[in-house]
Structure 1
């Protein structure tokens, strides 16, 4: 009887996870589309690379500006309302970009599309945390974290082809159509996890005031996003310029590393569920990332292309494995009243770090080369490892802020 009563809930949980993965992938297409339009804008419309780069960065600016606000709205009104309203506004913002006349208005519309699409970043994590029990939550969140590389891969394949066939409007509309489909799916599938009055009473305190645990996790994630960004953004440059590979061969290597990295996020989630810990795996991942960065740097300095490529793929997989673990830990520690804002803060720090890194890393590579840069970047995960909170600190904070919510609350049937 008990097993039978749980089966429909489990099926609904997986259905909502699927909808969240699709929705997050769809909004990822919206935000990365301008970046994949740079060659078209430059070659076909004569736009300078600098101006095209401004458009490419516009959605990310919108994301950074609104992540915490969307998290607060999720805490206040629930996941379903935020997802339906935010994704609908994203579709309207995409329509605005199709109607925009001139560079400035197009840029503002792209900022708006990024700002509205940020609704799903926190709401999806909060929803999954609420619907999945603790012993399956790492796996579920790991699957959720695959949506960004998948969305980026879809955009990389579709956007240039659509732009060449239908122009910029056809490329921009693609993400809007996918997001519209996700709105419809959310309307039929998404239900907020049920949080009882007793549970809410137990999480009235601000987890940031209780301890520095969440702040330490945010700091760790900012440090660990540095190697992620360097490897994904400058891997192509390294193998084309440093080893003389063709762009096709180097691009295939980078794409393979990204897709394998998506699998690494799922594997890390399964590992954390089996270990009953999110934080110990993060600490080990940080140390492994630093070691593999140094190995990659050594192979690069020795001009050993194939060993460097193997090390690059391995470190790329390891460097992204912590994402889902940190996201899950933040949601669990913050509790149902604060998880939206906490997840928004988590994402904001990572996006800010990624936005500030390009000129610094580019200048570093120009000055000392890729191998030395990789060795220097290895300092970031080495610094992150001792900052990872202990399990005792995490449990103490979680118990004070969500004492009765060990398994995320019973979902509404």
Structure 2
């Protein structure tokens, strides 16, 4: 059984802190790389209105198309993580972003639910490299006393990607159609592929085991701690994807906002999400724990989701817009905490694979959420969908491992 020290949230750093300004450049590159990937992967919900018009899809089928990139992610995350553990981060980042760019070019050349879904899935599968490798870049360059803040900044890539998509995709789609919006994310991916190939430097690592020596022991072998962190963070993805994927549709269908105005407001919510991730990471550094703040934030997300469900089902009010944006920000706040905790517990020899498993759980939830939530809204309304999100957040509190906090 792992010792209590091993289960703590801030174990000694096995990699010397390299210092200097290079680590901040690596943090910026890792964040920008995943922002470019997520502008496509998680920005597709902002194209639901144009997808419904141009491809003749109902809400449930549009949700399936939106889920295709995360399905691709699920199929390759662990493999990309293992590749990062073996070959280093720079090669994985550059090759994955390059392949994602090629798949997006393919999406520009096809039409229809099946072919678009295939291209989107291939782009997501290639873009999974960024999720597996850019987190390792950050964690390798920062010591434990700054890791929460660094990973909080790094995890702003999700809301920043969604913010970029919210600001750019609705007006591009309105002016140039679906192809105009997709061309934007294609160019963004290509630029970041080139920058990572040229500028990313792999962090220093501990010496590998000598030939015939003992291999690093799997962190999954003796305790369920990592599995519980994976499970709780996957549960917390459900409210995040509920509001992220259908917040704009709620504003247009229920509150009768225009798609462009709704996209601009959702961009504000994603900006708030970025601030919340940084704040949560700094909080975890200050209190010496990743998981105690995670439980508190899960409670807050559950209560806000219940309040939004009440507004949607029984008390229609403009106040629902304020709650929606607050939930958009707060529901994203726990990602960096769970990722930092997983990487610290796994250690440098297993961090890529452990982060791959972490991403699989989160993206499995992310791939299920859009079609399921779309079907729930179609059958029972937004109130039921937001109530389900509340249930997932509150369940996560019990799953977070208290001993490791």
Give the TM-score normalised by structure 2.
0.83
Shift of 1:176: 2.8
Q: Deviations over 1:9-64 (max 9, x none)?
A: 33111111111111111112343565555555554xx5321576655443222112
Do 2:166 and 2:264's aligned partners in 1 also have CA atoms closer than 8 Å?
no
1:254 pairs with one of 237, 254, 266? 266
Tell me if 1:232 matches 2:244. yes
Alpha-carbon RMSD across the aligned residues, in angstroms, is 3.1
Do 1:27 and 1:179's aligned partners in 2 also have CA atoms closer than 8 Å?
yes
> Where does residue 333 of structure 1 map in the other structure?
345
> Where does residue 7 of structure 2 map in the other structure?
none
Counterparts in 2 of 1:62 and 1:333: CA distance versus 1, 3 Å: same
> Where does residue 79 of structure 1 map in the other structure?
89
Give 1 or 2 for the bigger CA radius of gyration: 1
Tell me if 1:294 matches 2:306. yes
Counterparts in 2 of 1:47 and 1:227: CA distance versus 1, 3 Å: closer
Shift of 1:361: 3.0
> Where does residue 41 of structure 2 map in the other structure?
31
Shift of 1:8: 8.2
> Where does residue 222 of structure 2 map in the other structure?
210
Which segment is superposed worse, 103-112 or 56-65?
103-112
Counterparts in 2 of 1:322 and 1:52: CA distance versus 1, 3 Å: closer
Do 2:304 and 2:327's aligned partners in 1 also have CA atoms closer than 8 Å?
yes
Shift of 1:384: 1.2
Task: Indicate the SS of the match to 1:209.
Answer: coil
> Where does residue 315 of structure 2 map in the other structure?
303
Counterparts in 2 of 1:39 and 1:134: CA distance versus 1, 3 Å: same
> Where does residue 344 of structure 1 map in the other structure?
356
Q: Which structure dedicates a bigger proportion of its chain to helix?
A: 1
> Where does residue 285 of structure 2 map in the other structure?
273
Shift of 1:301: 5.3
Tell me if 1:380 matches 2:392. yes
Which segment is superposed worse, 326-335 or 358-367?
358-367
2:187 pairs with one of 161, 172, 177? 177
Shift of 1:202: 8.5
1: distance between equivalents of 2:238 and 2:47? 25
Tell me if 1:14 matches 2:20. no
Which segment is superposed worse, 67-76 or 238-247?
238-247
> Where does residue 406 of structure 1 map in the other structure?
none
Task: Indicate the SS of the match to 1:321.
Answer: coil
2: distance between equivalents of 1:181 and 1:193? 22
Total equivalences in the alignment? 386
Shift of 1:219: 0.5
2: distance between equivalents of 1:280 and 1:244? 39
1:117-196 matches, cutoff 5 A: 117-162=127-172, 169-196=179-206
Which segment is superposed worse, 234-243 or 330-339?
234-243
Tell me if 1:108 matches 2:144. no
Do 1:203 and 1:337's aligned partners in 2 also have CA atoms closer than 8 Å?
no
Do 1:243 and 1:303's aligned partners in 2 also have CA atoms closer than 8 Å?
no
Shift of 1:133: 1.0
2: distance between equivalents of 1:234 and 1:86? 29
> Where does residue 67 of structure 1 map in the other structure?
77
Give the TM-score normalised by structure 1.
0.82
2: distance between equivalents of 1:72 and 1:133? 23
Task: Indicate the SS of the match to 1:333.
Answer: helix
Question: Structure 2: which 5+ runs fail to align?
Answer: 1-15
Counterparts in 2 of 1:81 and 1:238: CA distance versus 1, 3 Å: closer
Which segment is superposed worse, 253-262 or 67-76?
253-262
Shift of 1:260: 0.8
